[in-house]
Amino acid sequence: MSRHPSKRRQDSSEPSFGHAHPTTDIAAASPLARDLAGLLTHEDVDRARDRWAVRRARWTERHSKIAGRLSVVWLLVGPGVLVFLGENDAPSMLSYSATGARFGVGFFLPFVVLTFAMGLVVQEMTVRLGAVTHRGHAELIFDRFGRFWGLFALGDLVLGNFLTLVTEFIGIRAGLGFFGIRPVLAVGAGLAVVFAAIATGRYWKWERITMALAIFNGLFVPAALLTHPNWNAVGHSLLTWLPLPHGKPFDILLLLLADIGATVTPWMIFFQQSAVVDKGMQPQDIRVGRLDTLLGAVLATLFAIATIVATAPLYQHGIDASEFQAAQFAEALKPWIGHVGAALFALGIFEAGIVAAIAISTSSAYAFGEVLGTGHSLNRPLGDAWPFYSILLGSAAAAAALVLIPHAPLEFIVLMVNVIAVLAMPPALAFLLLLVNDPDVMGDQVNNFGQNLAAVTVTVLLISAGIGFGVATILQAG
């Protein structure tokens, strides 16, 4: 191995300088200072500034506990919120829409809560791994397990990411289609937003722009409230898991897997770990990183449940939603939530596709950059890390082009992409578990018994779901 995971990246260390720019007045400095300044990249300087802001906030916390703590949380929050709201993407929200339209309020509400709890277990390990090693997930797999397994993991990620990106642009196209916007213009607008988010050459700005977009995932909440839901039925289902879904076992199992795949997918591991590294988070930041991840999981759970509740009237009134696409869900809901509510629902689908397109394409670019050893930070300017940005924009553009193919079975594609994500998750979890249980990698942050028990339970559930789907598929074909 050329590098050992336990070594710390120098550009992620805590800065020892004050407010001055490290490369200021180089000509007047000593030859040694000029040499050291020449080693600093744009990425190093920007990350050091971010870390210095965190140190100032921690110093403030000693004198003003509440203000300082809120400042630290504000500076460090981001990767966890983005990964979960990004996972509330277009195929996920369409899966939840199909769930509510086909089965209403019942078993699937607490089941979705369970899936987000599973996702929280996985992403907590990812936060620790990134903060301790300062290395991306793809890079660690290559170094610890070799080229074969590294390429296997990368291929698993890239294929899953590309298929998911296609569905994101399906959501973008269909969401804007509600307002009569032509597919070419809708897809073009989506690509423009992806480009605008990365054009800043600054991780902090990219993160805040994407978070500002992600909060509009909450549009599903007012859409749900406009249906005037039966809160007693909602509470009853959350506590009792009743009523159970009725229908063809294969259809129920397909939605079960789709809803799991709407919450737990390989790209989340790669994205959040790389984002933690790009943000420059340290082991002492793990506690806030957990809070950030918990906040993201709670918000995403709330918005997912709201989506099921919003489409439940279709089930209650016996409307067949088996062929609905995103815009058609919004159109079908008009009699119960009006034009404004339907517009909010359509905009929510559009937002879900936009945020996920940004996050998932970035996940692929991070992984390629880590493996190829090229610049792979959003703190680098476009010209300085053109391979990284080319992969990011290229993957998004290719997926967008496929979406323009006419007469594609959109809902089926959406559901199957989530199912594929579930089937691809066990290998990704295996690599993650091996890494977080390696003392040479994690030091004193290695998994404890409780964390391993929770992670193994999640893995077993995912494998069981995949086997169950395989058996059901065979029986269905027979």
- Which DSSP string corresponds to 299-362? HHHHHHHHHHHHHHHHHHTT---TT--HHHHHHHHHHHHHHHHHHHHHHHHHHHHHHHHHHHHH
**pLDDT reported for residue 353:** 93
Q: Does 3 reside within a domain?
A: no
Q: Does 90 reside within a domain?
A: yes
pLDDT of 388 > 50? The answer is yes
Q: Last residue of some domain: 76, 105, 124?
A: 76
70 and 100 both lie in a single domain: no
23 and 142 both lie in a single domain: no
Rounded Cα gap, residues 73 and 292, in angstroms: 8
427 pLDDT tier (thresholds 50, 70, 90): confident
**pLDDT reported for residue 457:** 93
Average pLDDT, the chain: 84
200 and 327 both lie in a single domain: yes
Q: Which residue has the higher pLDDT, 85 or 413?
A: 85
**pLDDT reported for residue 100:** 93
Q: Which residue has the higher pLDDT, 26 or 228?
A: 228
221 and 356 both lie in a single domain: yes
24 pLDDT tier (thresholds 50, 70, 90): very low
SS3 56: helix
Buried b / exposed e across 201-226, counting CB within 10 Å, b at 16+?
bbbbbbbebbbebbebbbbbbbbbeb
Render pLDDT for 78-120 as a digit per residue (tens, 0 to 9).
Answer: 999 999 999 999 888 988 998 999 999 999 999 999 999 999 9
Q: How many CB atoms lie within 10 A of CB 246?
A: 9
Q: Which residue has the higher pLDDT, 414 or 19?
A: 414
360 pLDDT tier (thresholds 50, 70, 90): very high
Please enumerate in sequence order all residues whose Cβ is within 8 A of that of 113, keeping only pairs 6 or more positions apart, or say none.
238, 301, 305
Structure tokens at 132: 């301790």
**pLDDT reported for residue 23:** 39
106 and 63 both lie in a single domain: no
What is the H or E stretch that residue 211 is in? helix 203-214
25 pLDDT tier (thresholds 50, 70, 90): very low
**pLDDT reported for residue 323:** 58
Phi, psi of 264 (to 5 degrees): -125, 105
Does residue 243 have a cis bond before it (omega within 30 degrees)?
A: yes
pLDDT of 261 > 90? The answer is no
Structure tokens at 29: 């400095």
Q: Does 2 reside within a domain?
A: no
- For residue 298, the one-letter residue type is V
CATH value at residue 388: 1.20.1740.10
**pLDDT reported for residue 264:** 84
98 and 64 both lie in a single domain: no
CB 100, CB 309: distance < 8 Å: yes
Q: Does 152 reside within a domain?
A: yes
Q: What is the mean pLDDT of residues 247-265?
A: 83
Structure tokens at 283: 């082991």
Q: Which residue has the higher pLDDT, 220 or 321?
A: 220
Rounded Cα gap, residues 451 and 463, in angstroms: 18
What is the H or E stretch that residue 198 is in? helix 183-198
**pLDDT reported for residue 410:** 59
90 and 71 both lie in a single domain: no
284 pLDDT tier (thresholds 50, 70, 90): very high
CB 315, CB 299: distance < 8 Å: no
CB 380, CB 42: distance < 8 Å: yes
Q: Last residue of some domain: 61, 76, 91?
A: 76
Burial classification of residue 10, based on how many CB atoms lie within 10 Å of its CB (0-12 exposed, 13-18 middle, 19 or more buried)? exposed
84 and 67 both lie in a single domain: no
**pLDDT reported for residue 381:** 82
**pLDDT reported for residue 321:** 64
SS3 178: coil
Percent of the chain with pLDDT over 70: 85
Indicate the range of 130-134, 159-163, 326-330 predicted with least confidence: 326-330
pLDDT of 13 > 70? The answer is no
**pLDDT reported for residue 39:** 62
**pLDDT reported for residue 409:** 63
For residue 288, the enclosing domain spans 79-477
Rounded Cα gap, residues 426 and 66, in angstroms: 41
Q: What is the mean pLDDT of residues 252-258?
A: 83
139 and 32 both lie in a single domain: no
Q: What is the CA radius of gyration of the chain?
A: 23
Q: What is the mean pLDDT of residues 249-278?
A: 87
92 and 19 both lie in a single domain: no
CA 173 centroid distance within chain: 20
Summary count for the chain: helices (H), strands (E): 19, 0
CA nearest neighbour of 361 among 322, 328, 323, 400: 400
Q: Does 457 reside within a domain?
A: yes
Rounded Cα gap, residues 459 and 249, in angstroms: 23
pLDDT of 400 > 60? The answer is yes
Q: Does 373 reside within a domain?
A: yes
Rounded Cα gap, residues 263 and 301, in angstroms: 9
264 and 337 both lie in a single domain: yes
Q: What is the mean pLDDT of residues 241-264?
A: 85
404 pLDDT tier (thresholds 50, 70, 90): confident
**pLDDT reported for residue 477:** 59
CB 357, CB 365: distance < 8 Å: no
Which CA distances in Å does 383 have to 296, 368, 395?
A: 33, 17, 18
pLDDT of 3 > 60? The answer is no
Q: Does 4 reside within a domain?
A: no
The CA angle 297-449-427, to the nearest 5 degrees, is: 60
Q: Last residue of some domain: 23, 47, 76?
A: 76
Q: Which residue has the higher pLDDT, 90 or 40?
A: 90
pTM: 0.86
48 and 99 both lie in a single domain: no
Instruction: Give how many domains the chain has, as a whole number.
Output: 2
Q: What is the mean pLDDT of residues 285-304?
A: 97
Structure tokens at 380: 């680098």
**DSSP percent split of the chain into helix, strand, coil, nearest 5:** 80, 0, 20
Q: Does 336 reside within a domain?
A: yes
Percent of the chain with pLDDT over 90: 48
pLDDT of 14 > 60? The answer is no
Length of the chain: 478
